[in-house]
Structure 1
Amino acid sequence: MITVNDISVQFGGTTLFSNVSFSINENDKIALMGKNGAGKSTLLKIIAGVNKPSTGNISAPKETKIAYLPQHLLTKDEATVFEETSKAFAEIFEMKSEIDKINETLTVRTDYESDEYMTLIERVSELSEKFYAIEEINYEAEVEKVLKGLGFERKDFTRATSEFSGGWRMRIELAKILLQKPDLILLDEPTNHIDIESVQWLEDFLINSAKAVIVISHDRAFVDNITNRTIEVTMGRIYDYKANYTHYLELRKDRREHQQKAYDEQQKMIAENMEFIERFKGTYSKTNQVQSRVRMLEKLQLVEVDEVDSSALRLKFPPAPRSGQYPVVVNELSKNYDQHIVFKNANLVIERGQKVAFVGKNGEGKSTMIKAIMGEIDFEGSLEVGHNAKIGYFAQNQASLLDEELTVFETIDQIAVGDIRTKIKDLLGAFMFSGDNTSKKVKVLSGGEKTRLAMIKLLLEPVNVLILDEPTNHLDMRTKDIIKKALKDFDGTLILVSHDRDFLDGLAEKVFEFGNKRVKEHFETITSFMEHKKMESLREIEK
C-alpha cells in the first residue's frame, strides 16, 4: 500500500491544496479529476517523486516501483525503437551482469575467510534471490507484443526513435512503463497521442495486467472503462469516491446539493442572530444573550460550497453558406510516397450537411486524405470539392502554429475583419479569455488555452465544410462537451478525425475506416462501428 500523508503545496502566496491524505491499494484504478489548474498534474508529480510537497510525504514499502508518464516528454534519440523499449528491462539485465561478474571473481579468489570475500558472497546471494524470483520472461517477445499493441509495426522496430513524432515517442515511453510491471502506474493524458485501436489495447492491458493505476484523462469513455475509484481535487481539498467517472458525477451533484442546503440554512441562522445582536446590543437586560450569540458566531465553522466551474463557453458557429449537394467526391484516389503505399483506389462521397468520422490507426492515411481535400498534395485519381464549398480546417498541430510572441488579443485582432473587430473582447470572453488573460502572450498559455485560441481563429469566417483533425487534444471534458454541442448544431458539413469515442458518439452518422491501404465506408454510428470492430478482432484472435 502507498500512502499520501498530509500533502500541502504552496506557490508564492497561493495554496494549491492542504493536508491531502489518501491510500492507494494494490489493484486500485483511480481517476484523478478536477478543473484545469486544480493541481491534478502537480499531485501526480509528487506521488512520482518528481516534485516535492511544501509539507507532508509519500510513504511506500521499500521495494515499491512507481512509474510515471508525463503529459510532455523530452526524449533522447540515440537508439532504435526496439533498443529504447528494451531499456524497460535494464535493471534485470544489470542484475544478471553483476551476478556473472561476482561469480567470476569468486572462482579466482582464495581468501575464503576474509571480510571482502564474505561481502561478495552476501551480495551475490541477495542478487540471486531477487533475480531467480523473477518469473522467466521472453524479453524480446514481450517488447514486440507491447509495441504492436501500441500501434508499431515490425518494420518500425529497427528505425531510430529520432524519426518519430512526439506522439509516437510518447508511445515508446508508455511501452517501457507497461513492460516494467510497476506497483503503481501514473498516467497524465495517455490517450492524447494514440488511435482508437491502441486505446482499446491499453484499456485491456490496464484492466487485466496492471496493478494500481492513477490516471488523468479527458477521454470519458477511457476513464469509465478502466477506473473503479475517482479522486476529485477541488478548492485545496480532495473527495474520494468508490465509483467510476459517470457514477462520481451523480454523487458529486448530490454532495453539492447537500452542501448548498446546509450553507443556505447556516446563512439564514447567521442573519437571524446578527439581527438579534444589532437590535439588542444596547439593551441591558439582553447583554448576556447578545454576548452568548456573538461568541457562538465567532466559533462557528462556516459551511463551504465546492466551486462549480461556471466560466461559460457560449460557442456558436456562424450560419453556413449553402454549398452544392456533394461538397467532397473522391473517385479511385491513390497516394504513395516512393515505395510506401498509403491507400489505393479510395472512393468516398460526402453529402451536404453530413457529419462523418475518419478513423483508423495512425499512419493509415486519414491526414493524407485531408491534405488531398485541402489541395496540399499530389495524388492519382480524382477528387472534386463541390460548388461553393468553403472549407475551414483545424489541423492537429494548429495550436503550435500560433505566433508565440503575440498576445491573445493580438492573435485575433490580426485576422478579424469587418464588424467582428468591434466584438473581439466579447468573442474572447465567450472562449474564457477575459480581463488580464487577453493580454497574456501565447507562449505562456496551456495546451488547452492554445487549442481554444486556435478554435476562435477558425470561427472568424463563415464556412460550410469543417475539417477537424484531433480537435479535442488538451481540452477538458466540459469544454469538449460545449464544442460537441456547437458541432451538433452546425448546419454545414463536418469531417472529424478523432480517437475520442465519447466525442464522436452522437456526432458522426457515418464512418470511413482507413486501414490495409483501403478506405472502407460504414453506414453506422461510431458506437455501432466499435461494437462491430471488437467482434471482428475477436474472430481474428480465434483464427
Structure 2
Amino acid sequence: MISVDNISVLHGGHALFSDISFSINPNDKIALMGKNGAGKSTMLKIIAGATKPSKGGVSAPKDAVIAYLPQHLLTADDCTVFEETSKAFASYLSLKEEIDRLNEELTVRTDYDSEEYYKIIERVSEVSEKFYSIEEVNYEEEVEKVLLGLGFERPDFQRPTSEFSGGWRMRIELAKILLQKPDLILLDEPTNHLDIESIQWLEEFLTEKAKAVVVISHDRAFVDNITNRTIEVTMGRIYDYKAKYSHYLELRKERREQQQKHYDEQQRFIAETTQFIERFKGTYSKTLQVQSRVKMLEKLDIVEVDEVDTSALRLRFPPSPRSGKYPVIVEDLSKSYGDHVVFKNASMTIERGQKVAFVGKNGEGKSTMIKAIMGEIDYEGRCELGHNSMIGYFAQNQASLLDESLTIFETIDQIAVGEIRSKIKDMLGAFMFKGDDINKKVKVLSGGEKTRLAMIKLLLEPVNLLILDEPTNHLDMRTKDIIKDALKDFDGTLILVSHDRDFLDGLATKVFEFGNKRVKEHFEDINGFLRTKKLENLREVERSSK
C-alpha cells in the first residue's frame, strides 16, 4: 500500500491544497478529477517523487516500483525505438552482464586461494541470487509485443527516435513504463497523442495486467472503462469515491445538494442570531443571551459549498461573415510522401453551415487533408476555398504557441479590437479565468488552462470556417462541454478532427472516414454512422480502416 500523508502545497502564499491524505491499494484504478488548475498534475508529481510538497509526504514499501508518465516529456535521440524501449530492462540486463563478466574473470584467473578470488565468487553468488529471483523474461519478445500494441510497425523498431513526433515519443515512454510492470502507474493525460485503436489496447492492458493506476484524463469513455475509484480535487481538499466516473458525477451532485441545504440553513441561523443581537444588545435583561449568541457565532464553522463550473455566461462565437455556398471543395485529391500514399482521388464538398467530422486511425490522412485545405502542402488534384471563406484554425499544438512571458489578460488584450475589448473580462470569466487569475503568467498555466486561453483567441475575430484539430486535448470535461455548446451555436462551417465520441455526439452532422488510402463520405451524424456500420464505438471504426 502507498500512502499520501497530510500533504500541503503552497504557491505564493496561496494553498493549492492542504492536509491531503489517502491510500492507494493494490489493484486500485483511480481517476484524479478536478477542474484545470486544481492541482491534479502537481499531486501526481508528488506521488511520483518528481516534486516535493510544502508539508507532508508519500510513503511506499521499499521495493515498490512507481512509474510516471507526465504530460510533456523528452526522449533521448541517440538510439533506435527498440533500443530506447529496451531500457525498461536496464537493471535486469545489467545484472546479467555483471554475472557474465565475473564468470569470465573466474575462468581466466588461477589464484584460486586468494582473497580476491573468493570475493568474486561471493559477488557472483550475490548477483545471481538477485538475477534469478526475477522472473525469467524474453525481453525482446516483450518489447516487440508492447510496441506493436501501441501502434508501431516492425520497420519502426530500428528507426532513430529523432525521426518521430512528440506523440510517438510519448508512446515509447509509455512502452517503457508498461514493461517495468510497476506496482503503481501514474498517467497524466495518456490518451492525448494516441489514436483510438491504441487507446483500446491501453485500456485492456490497464484493466487486465496493471496493478494500481492513478490517471488524469479528459477522455470520459477511457476513464469510465478503466477506473473503479474517483478522487476529486476541489478548493484545496479532496473527496474520495469508491465509484467510476459516471457514478461519481451522480454522487457529487447529491453531495453538493446536501452542502447547499446545510449552507442555507446555517445562513438563516446566522441572520436570525445577528438580528437578535442587534435588537437586544442594549437591553440589560438580555445581556447574557446576547453574549452567548455572539460567542456562538464566533465559534461557528462556516459551511462551504464546493465550487461548480456553471458560468452564467453562455459562450458564443461572433456572428460569421457570409461565405459562398461551398466553403471547401475537394476533387480527386491525392497526396504521397515518397513511396507512401496517404490517400488517392479523395473528393468532398462541404456546404456553408455544415458541421463535419474527420475520423480514422492516426496516419490515415486527417491532418494531411487539413494542411491541403489550409494551403500548407503540395498535392495532386483540386482543393479550393469558396468565396469569402475566412478560416479560424486550431492546431493540436496551439497552446504551445502562446507567449509565456505575457499574463492571461495581456494575451487577449493584445489582439482584441473594437467592442470586444469591453468584454474581455467577461470572456475570460466564461472560460473560468476569474478574479486575480487573469494576472497569472502564461508560463505557470496547466496544459488545460493554456488550451482554454488559445481557444479564446479564436473567439476574437469573426470567421466563417472553423477547423479544429483535436481541440479537447488537455481540457477538463466541464470546459469541453462549454466549448461544445459554443460550437453548436456557431453559425459558420465547422471541420472537426477528434477521437472523442462524446464531443462529436450532437455536434457533427456528417462524417468523413479516412482509411485504406481513401476518404469515404457518410451523410449522417456520428451515432448514425456507427449504427450503419453496426459498430459500437470509434475504436472499431479505426480497426476496420486498417
TM-score by length of 2: 0.89
8 Å CA contact retained: 1:508, 1:526: yes
CA contact (8 A) 2:466 2:493 kept: yes
Return the alpha-carbon distance in structure 2 between the equivalents of residues 78 and 344 of structure 1: 36
Provide the residue aligned with 1:492 in structure 2: 492
Task: Label 1:374 to 1:149 Cα distance change in 2 as closer, same or farther (>3 A).
Answer: same
Partner of 1:385: 385
Are 1:6 and 2:11 matched, yes or no?
A: no
Distance 1:518 1:210 in 2: 37
Q: Distance in 1 between matches of 2:541 and 2:266?
A: 59
Match of 1:214 in 2: 214
Determine if the alignment matches structure 1 residue 198 to structure 2 residue 198.
Answer: yes
1:258 matched residue in structure 2 = 258
Name the amino acid aligned to 1:520.
K
Kindly indicate whether the alpha-carbon contact (under 8 Å) linking 1:81 and 1:157 is maintained by their aligned counterparts in 2.
Answer: yes
Q: Quote the offset at 1:167 in angstroms.
A: 1.9
CA contact (8 A) 1:197 1:360 kept: no
In the TM superposition, residue 415 of structure 1 has moved relative to its aligned partner by 4.4
- Once the two structures are superposed, the pairs formed by residues 234-383 of structure 1 within 5 Å of their partners are 234-311=234-311, 314-383=314-383
RMSD: 3.0
- Identify if the C-alpha distance between structure 1 residues 110 and 39 changes in structure 2 by more than 3 Å, giving closer, same or farther: same
Query: How many residues end up aligned between the 2 structures?
Result: 540
Structure 1 residue runs of 5 or longer lacking an equivalent are none
Give deviations 1:410-458, integer Å, cap 9, x for gaps: 5445544554455555444444456655565544544334333332332
Residue 531 of structure 1 corresponds to: 536
| Alpha-carbon separation, structure 1, partners of 2:446 and 2:235 | 20
Deviation digits for residues 346-403 of structure 1, max 9, x if unmatched? 2223233322211223332111111111222221122233344333222222333344
Q: Secondary structure at the match of 2:202?
A: helix
Q: SS at the partner of 2:384? A: strand
Residue type at the aligned position of 1:300: L
Shift of 1:67: 0.1
Q: Could you tell me how far 1:36 is from its partner in structure 2?
A: 2.1
Contact kept in structure 1, 2:260 and 2:305, CA below 8 Å: yes
1:117 corresponding residue in structure 2: 118
Question: Share of identical aligned residues, percent?
Answer: 78
CA contact (8 A) 1:512 1:522 kept: yes
Q: Secondary structure at the match of 1:191?
A: coil
Distance in 2 (CA, whole Å) between partners of 1:418 and 1:275 is 49
CA distance in 2, matches of 1:451, 1:538: 29
Cα displacement (A) at 1:184:
0.4
CA distance in 2, matches of 1:274, 1:411: 46
1:452 and 2:452 aligned? yes
**Which is further off, 29-38 or 96-105?**
96-105
**Distance (whole Å) between structure 2 residues aligned to residue 339 and residue 216 of structure 1:** 39
Aligned partner letter, 1:531: E
User: Does the 8 Å CA contact 1:313/1:431 hold for their aligned counterparts?
Assistant: no
Q: What one-letter code is carried by the residue in structure 1 that aligns with 2:128?
A: S
Instruction: Compute the displacement of 1:204 (Å).
Output: 1.6
Counterpart of 1:98 in structure 2: which amino acid?
E
Taking a change above 3 Å as real, the CA distance of residues 492 and 449 of structure 1, as seen in their structure-2 partners, is: same
Report the secondary structure of 1:520's partner residue: strand
Partners of 1:534 and 1:430 in 2: CA distance: 33
**In structure 2, how many angstroms separate the alpha carbons of the residues matched to 1:422 and 1:265?**
39
Superimposed CA distance per residue, residues 33-86 of structure 1 (whole angstroms, 9 cap, x where no aligned partner): 112222211111111111122222222222110000111113321111111111
> Is 1:27 matched up with 2:32?
no
Question: 2:188·2:215 contact (CA, 8 Å) conserved in 1?
Answer: yes
Structure 2 stretches lacking a partner, 5+ long: none
| One-letter amino acid of the counterpart of residue 161, structure 2 | T
Distance in 2 separating the partners of 1:316 and 1:3 = 45
The aligned counterpart of 2:96 is 96
1:143-158 alignment, distance < 5 Å: 143-158=143-158
SS in 2 for 1:192: coil
- Note if contact 2:196-2:539 (Cα within 8 Å) is conserved in structure 1: no
Shift of residue 199, structure 1, vs aligned partner? 1.5
